[in-house]
Structure 1
Amino acid sequence: MSTPEAKPLRLGLLQYGVGRPEGVAAFGRALEQRLEAGRAQADLLVLPEYACVELGAALAGGDAADERTELAAMVAAAPDILATMREAARRLGVWLIPGTLPMPAEDGRVVNRAPLIAPDGRIAFQDKRAMTRFEAERWGVSQGSDPQVFDTPWGRIGISVCYDVEFPKHVRVQVEAGAWAILAPSCTDSMHGFNRVRVGAAARAMENQCYVAITPTVGTAPWSAALDVNRGHAAVFGPVDRGFPEDGVLARGALDQEEWVFCRLDPAKIAAVRADGQVRNHRDWPARPFRPATPAAFA
């Protein structure tokens, strides 16, 4: 299958302030209001990982729910939540990554799944592949499927959810499949966690000479077992080379505040820097894996 010709993408990233909706309908109304505020300035709108988990407390019946009870309630409601997300994209006529949501896999495990929704309601998914300790040990979310790429009106893009963007191979296989932009919705409860995602995203943009964008949940939600603390800001990174900012940062938001962050991504600039940058990280990525490292001999 041929890859659609890439053209500039107006990207909207929402630093999502965690709230306390009373149910799926209330979540849907708030979602549409947020999307309405961003759609005039963007072609594709991206929300953070697990943004919809703000519903967990209400779905589980109140403040007393523990993490796994909240998760079970979210998984049970996943079809309705996903339908609400699709309807918002259709109603407003937008391309949307509405964050991620915990969903049952075909084998019954719970996976963390990022939908990409077209304005006509068509949908495709990218699972999170690498699990944090919280997800695996305390929450009960399992490893998802391998990385994929998505053909869009702006060419081929990839989604690497939060922890996934900290691993070079996850992004690399997407870039090798033709992705020129990687979107990494995140959810981090400390500045350590946020900075791991930030540094990983910047490194992936440098080593692949591509765009990488992150956007997190923000704010405190003591009523939520899973989203009680949320830190970070949105950012877009590009190659650290000619034609780009000296630090590679194309856009960034204010720390820990809900707001939209917008950035125009031009694939022609990626093609130019790959062809004639000061360095050629994308081309010079090792074609073959190194042999296992062995201890060096001292003489």
Structure 2
Amino acid sequence: MKIAAAQYPIGYFGNLEDWKINIRGWVASADDAQILVFPEYGSMEMASLFSEQIQKDLVGQIAIMNELLPEFLAYFCQIANEFDKVILCPSFPVHENGRFVNRVFVVGPKGLAGYQDKFFMTRFEDEEWGISSGQKKLSVFESKWGKFGIQTCYDVEFGIGSKLLCEAGAEVIFAPSCTETLRGATRVHVGARARALENQCYVVVSQTVGDALWSPAVDINYGYSAIYSTPDLGFPDEGILAMGETQKKMWLFVELEIEKIHEVRKNGSVLNFKSNSAIKNALWDSEIEIQHIRI
């Protein structure tokens, strides 16, 4: 499975055609990668296509951006077909059932395959922006190269989603992300490494980079892409397969050997995935005594 993870700067475009040219350039430069992942909220650059008043309106812009959702999806489907790629599109604030959800669409040569909504909202999304938790449905995408799931940004900082996805067959977890600071980026990467360890899987992080000071939503971005594994036999000792240069516009490429996931889950130095899956039976249904000991 050949992966390309974007370190993606939020652009500013005068018209829709310029946006398409930019996206096409990214996909065309992904060489022989089979699966491309763009970061969380990379779609917010499309707000630049509207008036300056809309660009400054944190909440209003996501409402009017939904007018562009059909064009957004159609174009990603078109270039996925043209370049024969599977693409995790930059997440889009989709208006559905009277609320906005943070959705990652997955497209391939045959068109739209499905999507994954973000479960856990950050304080900014919840308290200031009006983005809601998505439907509680996890998708395992079954490509000819391997199976994967998606845990968007804050989601990967919690174990439950990745655990359920891997128990359902996922060998790779993609974590598209958008963070402002080194602190925020670090939280995502620490979470990604933890998920790789406990599920003995690959985790791929893609992040936004650079500043887009015209946008109240994604004005400051700090990040880098990385691909993590469990630190065990057959993998790097620190569990880092590849890491991009911080804040640089680039693709990060890596080829993932999926068979190694099955091997380490069966014959690793430790069996984290097996033990993690056994927690429910061993602990969740049992009453665990908590002691308070004064010293």
TM-score range, shorter chain: over 0.9
- Hey, what does 2:112 align to over in structure 1? 122
Local SS of the residue matching 1:67:
coil
CA RMSD of aligned residues (A): 1.6
Tell me if the contact between 1:60 and 1:69 (Cα under 8 Å) persists in the aligned partners.
Answer: no
Give the Cα separation in 1 of the matches to 2:272 and 2:173.
16
- Hey, what does 1:99 align to over in structure 2? 90
Local SS of the residue matching 1:99:
coil
- Hey, what does 2:130 align to over in structure 1? 140
- Hey, what does 2:23 align to over in structure 1? 31
Structure 1 unaligned segments of length 5 or more: list them: 1-8
Give the Cα separation in 2 of the matches to 1:144 and 1:256.
29
Q: Which of residues 179, 203, 208 is equivalent to 1:188? A: 179
Equivalent residues in 2 for 1:253-292 (5 A)?
253-285=244-276, 286-288=279-281, 289-290=283-284, 291=286
Local SS of the residue matching 2:132:
coil
Structure 2 unaligned segments of length 5 or more: list them: none
Give the Cα separation in 2 of the matches to 1:44 and 1:101.
19
Local SS of the residue matching 2:66:
helix
Deviation at 1:60, TM superposition (A): 4.5
- Hey, what does 1:149 align to over in structure 2? 140
Give the Cα separation in 2 of the matches to 1:140 and 1:12.
31
Give the Cα separation in 2 of the matches to 1:292 and 1:73.
50
**CA gap 1:221/1:179 in 2 versus in 1, 3 angstroms:** same
- Hey, what does 2:69 align to over in structure 1? 78
Deviation at 1:62, TM superposition (A): 5.0
Equivalent residues in 2 for 1:138-217 (5 A)?
138-146=128-136, 147-217=138-208
Give the Cα separation in 2 of the matches to 1:284 and 1:268.
20
- After TM superposition, which residue ranges in structure 1, 4 or more long, deviate above 6 angstroms? none
Tell me if the contact between 1:132 and 1:163 (Cα under 8 Å) persists in the aligned partners.
Answer: yes
Tell me if the contact between 1:241 and 1:278 (Cα under 8 Å) persists in the aligned partners.
Answer: yes
**CA gap 1:33/1:81 in 2 versus in 1, 3 angstroms:** same
Q: Which of residues 48, 52, 60 is equivalent to 1:57? A: 48
Give the Cα separation in 1 of the matches to 2:52 and 2:87.
29
Deviation at 1:75, TM superposition (A): 2.5
Q: Which of residues 282, 289, 296 is equivalent to 2:291? A: 296
Local SS of the residue matching 1:260:
strand
**CA gap 1:63/1:269 in 2 versus in 1, 3 angstroms:** same
Tell me if the contact between 1:24 and 1:80 (Cα under 8 Å) persists in the aligned partners.
Answer: no
Give the Cα separation in 2 of the matches to 1:141 and 1:23.
26
Deviation at 1:274, TM superposition (A): 1.2
Local SS of the residue matching 2:20:
helix
What is the aligned residue count? Answer: 289
TM-score by length of 2: 0.93
For residues 2-37 of structure 1, give each alpha carbon's deviation from its aligned partner in whole angstroms, at most 9, with x where no partner exists. xxxxxxx00011100111012333211110011100
Instruction: State the AA in 1 paired with 2:158.
Output: F
Give the Cα separation in 1 of the matches to 2:108 and 2:6.
18
Identity %: 36
Deviation at 1:59, TM superposition (A): 2.2
Local SS of the residue matching 1:263:
strand
Give the Cα separation in 2 of the matches to 1:201 and 1:28.
31
Give the Cα separation in 1 of the matches to 2:28 and 2:162.
31
84-93 or 276-285, which deviates more: 84-93
Deviation at 1:292, TM superposition (A): 5.8
For residues 69-96 of structure 1, give each alpha carbon's deviation from its aligned partner in whole angstroms, at most 9, with x where no partner exists. 2222222322222222222212222111
